Amino acid sequence: MRHTLPIAPQFYVTAPQPCPYLPGQHERKLFTALIGEGAKPLNDTLSKQGFRRSQNVLYRPACSDCAACLSARIRVADHVPGRTQRRIMKRNAGLVREANSPWATEEQYELFRRYLDSRHANGGMADMDIFEFAAMIEETPVRSRVIEYARTIPSEGGGRGARQLVAVCLTDVLDDGLSLVYSFYEPGLNGSLGTYMILDHVELARQVGLPYVYLGYWVPGSAKMDYKARFGGLEVYLNGIWQPIEAARDHARRPHPLSVRPITEQVAAIQLPDAAPAVKTRE
């Protein structure tokens, strides 16, 4: 008899690089690979501990002297849209949502390029070609969906108008929520499409009975991330637990460098999914 034993995930740390959110800071990530049959439970379990997915990798900030990045999620049951968010929902009510398998298209990539060139021309993804874009969308070992939002442009002759893709979100379906892996939208449209996609995901999660919508990282002091603090029912992963964000200013102070736990302690504190029973195979 031979026994196939579950393999514990191995964790690694990236070299320090300039932080894209806080000037003068350097970022470092703790990461592990998502492979095999254990990919989904590992993704589900580590997402609850502040990790995010990028293709076949799960990562979490592990900077040596800063802990400003806080994983954020919305408690669906406690989210009530504010007046501005209600206006955004009304403004985009005519958009048609379509959830598809994670396949990349040229139409998506063209929209992606317009978004990057307008909003993130100097970012780390600025040089991404169509093959790298396809890998970002399609290389997923977990249950993912590409959620497209389109509008109809009226034709001059009064017939059926043309469909225009205006926003896209790559979304993971976790056991307790929806995780927005990456989203992009038509930069020339004045419809607050980024906020609208989050609001729509809250409604999607509500419809299927999932309690959370995971938004990625919120960084106090970063203008790029301020919008995340505007959602009701928001909580952040801080000191090993999820807790209400309360006032954003409560998290604005950076910790003293000596208060950041060493990598070995961070890894030791990670909870892994329950190991599957050993599989017995007969020779």
* Measured distance CA(7)–CA(32) in Å, rounded: 13
CA angle 258, 60, 110 (to 5 degrees): 135
Structural domains in the chain, sorted by start: 2-281 (3.40.630.30)
State the pairing for strand pair 177-185/52-54.
unpaired
Residue 167 tokens, joined: 């926003």
The structure's pTM equals 0.89
Which stretches of the chain are assigned E, i.e. beta strand?
Answer: 2-4, 11-13, 17-18, 26-27, 29-33, 52-54, 57-61, 70-75, 96-100, 144-153, 162-173, 177-185, 212-218, 234-238, 241-244, 279-281
Q: Which of 74, 50, 61, 48 is nearest to 22 (CA)?
A: 61
Which alpha helices (DSSP H) does the chain contain, by range? Answer: 39-47, 83-91, 106-119, 130-138, 193-208, 263-268
* Measured distance CA(58)–CA(12) in Å, rounded: 11
| Collapsed DSSP state (helix, strand, coil) of residue 267 | helix
The per-residue pLDDT for 204 is 97
Predicted confidence pLDDT, tens digits, the chain (283 residues): 343 445 688 999 999 999 888 888 889 999 999 998 899 999 999 999 999 999 999 999 998 888 889 999 999 999 999 999 999 999 999 999 999 999 999 999 999 999 999 877 677 777 889 999 999 999 999 999 999 999 987 766 666 678 899 999 999 999 999 999 999 999 988 879 999 999 999 999 999 999 999 999 998 878 888 889 899 999 999 888 999 987 555 665 555 666 678 888 899 999 999 864 443 333 3
